[in-house]
Homo-oligomer: A and B are copies of this chain.
Amino acid sequence: MSLTNASPADAAKSAKSASHLLATLPTSARNNALTAIHAALSQSKDEILAANAQDLALAGKAAENGELSLSIVSRLDLGKKGKWEDMLKGILDVRDLDDPVGKVTLRTRLDDGLDLERVSCPIGVLLIIFEARPEVIANIASLAIKSGNAAILKGGKESTESFIAISKVISAALESTEVPNNAIQLVTTRDVIPQLLDLDQYIDLVIPRGSNELVRYIKSSTKIPVLGHADGLCSIYLEHSVSQEVAVRVIVDSKTSYPAACNSVETLLVEEAALEKLLPPVAQALLENGVSLRCDASSKTALTAKLPAHSSAILQDAEATDFDTEHLSLVLAIKTVSSLTEAVSHINTHGSHHTDVILTSSAPLAEQFMSSVDSAGVFWNASTRMADGMRYGFGTEVGISTNKIHARGPVGLEGLMIYKYKVRGAGHITMEYGEGEGQKPFKHEKLAL
């Protein structure tokens, strides 16, 4: 890992060149590098926490002056219970995942002595732009090395001293390994992001990890593919046949277990036939959990009739914009729909193609919903918050994508891979194949993987 003061173009160029070497290293070389980084960081805890203390002191002052929120200051603190240990454990967890490089996904005998093979390989150079949390740098460096990709890292300025300290330790650790130092580069100079976003000849994929605003800015500022999601406007469709218990459990979990998460529910679509019996207990449970309900006219009428006066008094009227807003807080918009078709149409038009749920006891309706909704995650009787790489069993999560190509939904290491086709022949030429005289057909025999 090098801490670069090079120009963005030089940094990206050297990362590209390092990526070509990194792509050829065997599993063991990449894993050994992660072991070395883990050991070096373990031994350097004191100096890194000292650097982190400098960041914290500056941030504390900024918070006193009202220039920084206390929640950001808290996220900077590497010394917080368990954080340092989690960071170190994360490196070994990534090391111990299956190697995503070199997986053969297709093998065809084109003709005798002429075999085609499709094999996974790293994408090349990643640009990862993230915000304050200093432990993210170790996580990202691990993911990049494990997947054989070079990476240029640009972190939030509040963690600069921590990043520099961690980066020096990683850099020294890599010296003893086969992973080239330039494969992981930390860029700390200001205002380089626009320049980096312009370097599509060297950088193959941008991964922004941070706020919606950061992602939106990056998506609108580069021709390089961006892996991520700007919005998480998830919906739940409450159909009348589901049990009250499932409805209450899933909706409360989807809304309240972590309201600031992108996979929290923002819109509840209630089937008319569910207004009277199912919506009231759901609404009551949400209100008891501190959720503000923004209701359309039909749902408000239904709730006012059924809820105790002190509950219905705090119901709010939904504005049209509520159904296009990711509140990221304890606010839920409620809309009445006549049917599954109307629910699906609302979701496909107003949603963000992240994760949407149907609550129903009908398997055919559930299957229809799951095939019709154009989202990365389509769930039946489960919480929106299940949409997560760790919960899906991917071992790690690079991000959640709402893209329609390459990778969609929670993205694990596979999302950092592409493939190449290898053909091994013995002097085979195309002019000998075809339907003309003296020409022969290809065999196209599928071979075992």
Contact = CB atoms under 8 A, between A and B. Distances in A.
A386 B43 CA distance: 53
Contacts of A381: 424-428
A348 interface: yes
15 contacts: A24-B371, A110-B392, A121-B371, A124-B404, A257-B431, A380-B422, A381-B425, A382-B429, A383-B429, A386-B428, A391-B433, A392-B421, A393-B442, A404-B418, A409-B419
Interface in A65-105: none
A341 to B, nearest CB: 11
A382 B420 contact: no
The 10 A-B pairs of least Cβ separation, nearest first, read A382-B425, A253-B429, A246-B427, A393-B444, A406-B406, A204-B404, A379-B423, A385-B430, A405-B406, A383-B429
A281 interface: no
Interface string A363-407: 000101011101111111111011110011100000000011111
- Find the residue from A124, A409, A421 having the highest chain B CB count within 10 A: A421
A19 B404 CA distance: 13
Contacts of A374: 19-20, 23, 124
Interface in A217-275: 219-220, 223, 225, 243, 245-246, 249-250, 252-254, 257
B421 A377 contact: yes
Contacts of A344: 20
A5 B275 CA distance: 43
Counting chain A residues whose Cβ lies within 8 A of the other chain, the interface size class is 35 or more
Given A24-B372, A424-B380, A428-B382, A408 B419 contact: yes
Given A385-B430, A421-B378, A425-B382, A392 B108 contact: yes
Nearest to A361: B426
A422 B205 CA distance: 27
A406 B393 CA distance: 22
A23 B423 contact: no
B430 A391 contact: yes
Nearest to A219: B223
A370 B424 CA distance: 10
Contact of A372 (B20, B124, B246, B428): B20
A381 B116 CA distance: 12
A367 to B, nearest CB: 9
Interface in A411-447: 418-431, 433, 442, 444
A392 B116 contact: yes
A11 interface: no
A351 to B, nearest CB: 12
A285 interface: no
Nearest to A372: B24
A246 B425 CA distance: 10
Contacts of A425: 379-382, 386
Contacts of A110: 386, 391-393
B420 A408 contact: yes
Contacts of A391: 110, 430, 433, 442
A292 to B, nearest CB: 20
A328 interface: no
Interface string A188-213: 00000000000000001100000000
Nearest to A248: B427
A393 to B, nearest CB: 4
Given A110-B386, A381-B424, A404-B418, 17 more contacts: A20-B372, A24-B368, A108-B392, A124-B374, A124-B404, A225-B404, A252-B429, A377-B422, A377-B423, A378-B423, A380-B422, A382-B428, A382-B429, A388-B430, A408-B420, A409-B419, A409-B420
A123 interface: yes
